[in-house]
Structure 1
Amino acid sequence: MSRPIKWMLLVCSFFGLGTAIVTPTPAADLPPNWPWRGIVMTSAASPNEKDIEYLSSINVNAVELQLEARFSAQRDKLTPEESLSRALITADRILDACKKYQMTVIISISQIPVNPRSGLTQESPEFWENPEKREEAVVIAKMLADHFKNRGAELGAYEILNEPLIRSRNRLERPAAWPSLFASIVKEIRKHDPKRYIVVTPGPGGLAIGYRNFKPIDDQRIIYGMHMYEPMQFTHQGIYEFPLGIFYPGVASLQYWDQKALERVMWPLIEFQNKYNVLVWVGEFSAARWAKGSDQYLKDLIGLFDKHGWGWTYFMYKGWHGWSPDFDSEYSSNEDARKHYIGNNSERWNLLRDIFTKNTISGTAKQK
């Protein structure tokens, strides 16, 4: 979820990726601190060692660091090069801190093109139809792999374009060019960093349904990703067109939602995992802090993730107030959100701290 607002529209055009793929052999070793049970943070918030120290104190074992270079370029009036350079500085700072506290970082970037004046986003049909525009993702992958190639277990994986999709005429489509682009991304990363894990999500977006008819990538160190915000009418209530007043468990989108319904919507990925014996990571999941029953929703999801042996990272740390655990559980607009800030004594933080107590940082994947 690159920005606060997510979406759920009519999904169409589901088909298997057309890359040359084979069933992978399980890697000899797991990613550091696997399964990841952590939280998402953004480079735009300038996180530092104090943040990592706190997360370590509550037993978080992994963070996804989203490099929001495009957002920073627009906000701070930077060139793309300046913004990417600043993002790398932030990433190195967080990696150094995570090394100190034996935590693992997933470096993720999805705001491509980085230049906000390009007139395109990664959802634009024109971006996916133009090979020269798409090449920017490969160039960025090369930059990241070359910069971080000597990192140790503090860097767990790279993720490039975590929600591949084309938004066109109120539809979400999986880009036809995504298989070849991802193959190029993997090839470029492997030139510089041959053993690091790489995360792939089939698309459209981060939906589990994208794993229908999907085949594993021909690489030993691939993690298969998903984002979970369904049902959107519940998780995004009070945001843009989604009305307040949806409860969990309860009815949304004309059906009853409970833990069994959540598992059903993730079933294509569950079947894919069971068939191919692959690693799965839910890079984002959340619910608006004011959504009634959101704590139960999160507990039910995490129970399912743990049941299936998946890694996960909660969205998000010090981000937009609707997702941030630093605020209370009452609805607020952007204008009056500050009145609802209560720091780490919130109901959401209490829930997350309780869940993180079950983590391990000293298991079979402990950093060396």
Structure 2
Amino acid sequence: MATPATAADIAFWDTPRHGGNSFNQTAPDAAYFRALRATGATWVRLTFSKWKGEGRDFLIGNADHYAGIPARDLAMLRQAMDAANAAGIKVVLVPLSLPGARWVQHNNDQQDDRLWQDRKYWDQSAAFWRDLAVAVKGHPALACYNLLNEPTPEKGMGLDEHAEPAVREAWYAVHKGTTHDLPAFYEHVIAAIRTVDADTPVMVDGGWYANAWSFSYWTPLRDSRVLYAFHMYEPWDITSGPQIKRKPQLRYPAATVTWGGKSRAFDKAAMQDFLGAPFAWAKAHGVAANRMVAGEFGCVRVWVDCGAYLGDVLDTLNTHGAHWAFYSFREDVWEAMDYEIPPAFPAGQVYYLREQGKGDKVPIDSPLMGVIKSRMRQSP
């Protein structure tokens, strides 16, 4: 058995690592991390951007102008990391907001694309990450810095989310070197981090909401301690919100959907083709499969085929030897992808019990979590 890696050791990621996402409104406590560890998870993708802090934007202070990390915010983050460490969970830190890119749900549901319009926000984002690295490097729970959740520098710039590789490459040839150049943005931020932290791995989401096809125009970044992340909710029309109220629901496999500008049946073969793209990119560019991460995936729990979908996603990822983290674990403001809650248990009842301080009365015996746990047990 390999020697356990330190917080800053890329070797942690040499073995497939399976975990969950924590996108909670309040900082998770020790009981939360112990429960996550009990599923078989070894890591958590932890976002802090929903937490209430000193300023408008947690840890950043104000995404309109970064001027330093508020001390109380940092103390709250470190407390959560301490709790994760005590439970045996490694932490990947990921913001939903950066300077010039406030998360849409904290921005009156308006897209904030200043980061992709003005390089001063590149500099402020680099300063934020440099400061955060100084503050948390060496923490025993720390496993990685995930620089930004689901960036969208291509949005509104004439590139379809599901464009073919040749189309993406042609688009990038025009926009390379501009403020819409996502790999260049990442190089800029990583360079700032490396002035203060030479060791901690960095995780980078691909563009267009971390679409699995988004790396097709990339060449690998210069840093040797980079993990490349994609998300999997495809096809969105059958995995997400529309399925909650749709009658009858679209089925998996073989529902015909409009996806990537084409009508097609989405079955396991289509899934394997879609999820194979980032690994094909990695192989073509000499990137090891153990540097590829499915940072999020999921489906709404009330969908009748959610379990079949999750099982096929996980089997496909495990075949590639990928790292993965399911979305999400015990989210406190949105229950639709909480796989512990049985599919038939009404969402309204979940919220009612939580509002009454009776959240412990919500059942957590769903077979959907069993699908995930069984695939965790398959990992080395």
Shift of the alpha carbon at 1:34?
A: 3.4
User: Higher RCO, 1 or 2 (CA under 8 Å, sep at least 6)?
Assistant: 1
Question: Alignment partner for residue 195 of structure 1, among 190, 195, 199?
Answer: 199
- Paired with 2:371 and 2:24, the residues of 1 have a C-alpha distance of 25
- Paired with 2:247 and 2:120, the residues of 1 have a C-alpha distance of 40
Shift of the alpha carbon at 1:64?
A: 0.7
Shift of the alpha carbon at 1:58?
A: 2.8
- Paired with 1:121 and 1:192, the residues of 2 have a C-alpha distance of 35
Task: Specify every segment of 5 or more residues in structure 1 that has no aligned partner in the other structure, as ranges.
Answer: 1-27, 361-368
Q: Pick closer, same or farther for the CA change 1:211–1:178 going to 2, 3 Å.
A: closer
Which residue identity does 2:268 align to in structure 1?
Q
Task: Give TM-score scaled by structure 1 length.
Answer: 0.78
Question: Alignment partner for residue 60 of structure 1, among 41, 45, 61?
Answer: 41
Which residue identity does 1:163 align to in structure 2?
E
Q: Pick closer, same or farther for the CA change 1:344–1:89 going to 2, 3 Å.
A: farther
Shift of the alpha carbon at 1:157?
A: 0.5
Q: Pick closer, same or farther for the CA change 1:122–1:189 going to 2, 3 Å.
A: farther
Q: Pick closer, same or farther for the CA change 1:350–1:75 going to 2, 3 Å.
A: farther
2:152 matched to which residue of 1?
Answer: 165
- Paired with 1:29 and 1:111, the residues of 2 have a C-alpha distance of 25
Equivalences for residues 175-194 of structure 1 within 5 A: 176-194=180-198
Task: Specify every segment of 5 or more residues in structure 2 that has no aligned partner in the other structure, as ranges.
Answer: 1-8, 162-171, 173-178, 354-360
Q: Pick closer, same or farther for the CA change 1:172–1:92 going to 2, 3 Å.
A: farther
Preserved contact between residue 292 and residue 322 of structure 2 (Cα < 8 Å): yes
Shift of the alpha carbon at 1:110?
A: 2.5
Bigger strand share: 1
Which residue identity does 2:17 align to in structure 1?
W
Question: Alignment partner for residue 34 of structure 1, among 15, 21, 29?
Answer: 15
Equivalences for residues 1-368 of structure 1 within 5 A: 30-31=11-12, 34-69=15-50, 80=62, 85=71, 87-113=73-99, 123-152=111-140, 154-166=141-153, 167-168=155-156, 176-238=180-242, 245-251=249-255, 252-253=257-258, 254-275=263-284, 276-278=286-288, 279-319=291-331, 320-330=334-344, 335=348, 337-338=350-351, 342-359=362-379
Task: Give TM-score scaled by structure 2 length.
Answer: 0.75
Aligned length: 330
Report the more deviating stretch, 92-101 or 110-119.
Answer: 110-119
Shift of the alpha carbon at 1:159?
A: 0.7
Please give the secondary structure, in 2, of the residue aligned with 1:344. Answer: coil
Preserved contact between residue 236 and residue 242 of structure 1 (Cα < 8 Å): no
- Paired with 1:201 and 1:115, the residues of 2 have a C-alpha distance of 17
Deviations 1:21-55 (A, max 9, x none): xxxxxxx9522583220100025232111111122
Preserved contact between residue 69 and residue 111 of structure 1 (Cα < 8 Å): no
Report the more deviating stretch, 351-360 or 117-126.
Answer: 117-126
Shift of the alpha carbon at 1:91?
A: 3.1
Shift of the alpha carbon at 1:115?
A: 6.5
Shift of the alpha carbon at 1:198?
A: 0.4
TM-align CA RMSD: 3.5
Please give the secondary structure, in 1, of the residue aligned with 2:207. Answer: coil
Deviations 1:290-342 (A, max 9, x none): 11211111111111111111100000112211111242213856x55436973
Please give the secondary structure, in 2, of the residue aligned with 1:245. Answer: coil
Shift of the alpha carbon at 1:125?
A: 3.7
Shift of the alpha carbon at 1:350?
A: 2.7
1:15 matched to which residue of 2?
Answer: none
Please give the secondary structure, in 2, of the residue aligned with 1:282. Answer: strand
Q: Pick closer, same or farther for the CA change 1:242–1:159 going to 2, 3 Å.
A: farther
Q: Among the aligned pairs, what percent are the same residue?
A: 17
Report the more deviating stretch, 307-316 or 141-150.
Answer: 141-150
Please give the secondary structure, in 1, of the residue aligned with 2:328. Answer: strand
Please give the secondary structure, in 2, of the residue aligned with 1:162. Answer: coil
